[in-house]
Amino acid sequence: MPPNPITTNTLFYGDNLPILREYVANESVDLVYLDPPFNSNRTYNVLFKDESGQEAEAQIEAFDDTWHWNPKTEETYQEIIAQAPARVATMIGALRQFIGANQMMAYLVMMAARLVELHRVLKPTGSLYLHCDPTASHYLKVILDTIFGPQNFVNEVIWKRSDAKGDTGQGAKHFGRVNDTILFYAKSDKRMWSPQYIDLNPEYVERFYKYVDPDGRRYKLDNMLGPGGAAKGNPQYEVMGVTRYWRYSQKRMQELVAAGRVVQLKPGNVPMYKRYLDESKGTPITTNWADIDLLRGWSGERLGYPTQKPLALLERIIQASSNADDLVLDPFCGCGTTIAAAQKLGRKWIGIDITHLSIALQKYRLREMFPEIEFQVIGEPEDVGSARQLAQDNRYQFQGWALSRVRAKPLGGQEGQRAGKKGSDKGIDGVINFIDDAGGKPKRVLVQVKSGHVKSGDVRDLRGAVEREGAAIGLFITLEEPTREMEQEATVAGFYHSPGWQRDYPRLQILTIADLLRGAEVKMPLAWGTFKQAQRVKQAEAAQGELEL
């Protein structure tokens, strides 16, 4: 049993493997959905490259967001060999012999360790959905077959995630690559299941539901003959002058005739069953999901997170494989679509992610969609000491966490350096956008984060970036206390006058981490466009899936 079991509405920052082991109890989760960070740019050309630099013949190009074979991977591999169930250890050993110590194998090793834990935490009635793409789905299915048992494979769902354009116009010699794969496994044959339906095709309705009762109810006529006749045990008797083998007992047929549900279009015709349109649940959903569109640039749901999935996709999965008040777990929860869908549908949830940006996005998304929600966050710094430890462990994660405290959008690479001009250490780390005049022109607060020693020259550099970029305000976030000279540099920068609010705001501002932990905020006009706001969900209508527009 994990030492600190968690059962409801918690976000975790950190590596999901130790978090699963410490916080998630055996057989406590009803549904797992995971979309691991692997080849999310969809290049589809997997790098089979030895970490020593030797390239295999199949190697074409690298992808960015995967794990590498490193000491940690080797440690995890050895742990699987020594401690995992024998069949899992054998399978991983065989895969390494076949694939080699490359990025793909590193990914599979890290996934295998986590899938063993996810199998452990699932209830016997639970299910797991693994979202991936064709670069690794075949390997992942082998791993899942080994851990869950091939008899517990349920479906391979194909989601049409994009249009069939791709790079065909640039001379690509392949069909358009538009699908993702979702591998659906159950813990046992006792899995919870609720069939899902989509609306009937309007053309189908017009063609087949062509009859109308006097009261306006549309219906179609269905066959009532028993398939297979006498050989399948169907009863034979007469209905409206026609003797056939029927799919209903004679008593049931008499009830249907009395209820007006049996129609004979003319004497001698085989009677038919009257099926009303308003009684139809729709078309049962198959494994080809082409009805849920990708999130396009203009989508009101889009938050700007590169691998964000549509809310409707997660709602379908959650409704099919869980009940109200069940516990849903997403160990790679990104911008929190699984968590938002679970909350909307009245489920409990646990979300884990290894980046502070993701946790920040989820916190804001949850508070905007569900203003009354209560949840906890584990793993974020809660005092200056833990913030300092984070900075020592990973200054980039510290930077992301600090930016999230003021809801600043992180800037990376050339965009951040263009604002700073003086190299990686002097680059602008984040931006807050706002609009404060009738013209609607976005204005900016440039944000710089420092975790080490700070001096007045740092503030002067930020002031220069603000002036050069035409920004409204500069914000300097520091782990250490600012010097008097730094405060003087900020003071002499003067003020930004907001035409919309008719107020002056300090042109350069300094906030310490201690200030932010005490609840201090940036002095600026009302922010807009930093993290795109999620639509608010009416709690009373959450189970019906209604959005407040």
pTM of the model: 0.80
Of 165-169, 444-448, 506-510, the least confident: 165-169
**Cβ atoms of 23 and 4 closer than 8 Å:** yes
pLDDT in tens, 164-219: 665 666 677 888 888 899 999 999 999 999 999 999 999 999 999 999 999 999 99
**Cβ atoms of 486 and 454 closer than 8 Å:** yes
pLDDT in tens, 240-280: 999 999 999 999 999 999 999 999 999 999 999 999 999 99
- Output the DSSP codes for 216-278: S-EEEEE--BPTTGGGGT--EEEETTEEEEBSS-HHHHHHHHHTT-EE-SSTTSPPEEEEEGG
pLDDT classification of 417: cutoffs 50, 70, 90: very low
Phi-psi label, residue 346: left if phi above 0, alpha if psi -120 to 50, beta otherwise: left
Closest CA to 454 of 416, 498, 486: 486
How many Cα atoms occupy the beta-carbon half-sphere of 163 within 13 Å? 5
Q: Give yes or no for residue 305 having a pLDDT over 70.
A: no
For domain 384-517, say whether CATH 3.40.1080.10 is its number: no
pLDDT in tens, 310-356: 899 999 999 999 999 999 999 999 888 999 999 999 999 999 998 88
Q: Domain coordinates of the chain in residue numbers?
A: 10-42+122-193+287-378, 198-279, 384-517
Cα(69)–Cα(50) distance, integer angstroms: 9
Query: Which three-class secondary structure state does DSSP give residue 292?
Result: coil
Element (H, E) at 105: helix 103-121
The highest-level CATH class for domain 10-42+122-193+287-378 is alpha beta
The two structure tokens encoding residue 323: 């009940």
The two structure tokens encoding residue 309: 């999935």
Counts for the chain of helices (H) and strands (E), in that order: 16, 24
Residue whose entry in the numeric block shows the structure tokens 């984060």: 449
Note the pLDDT of residue 532. Answer: 54
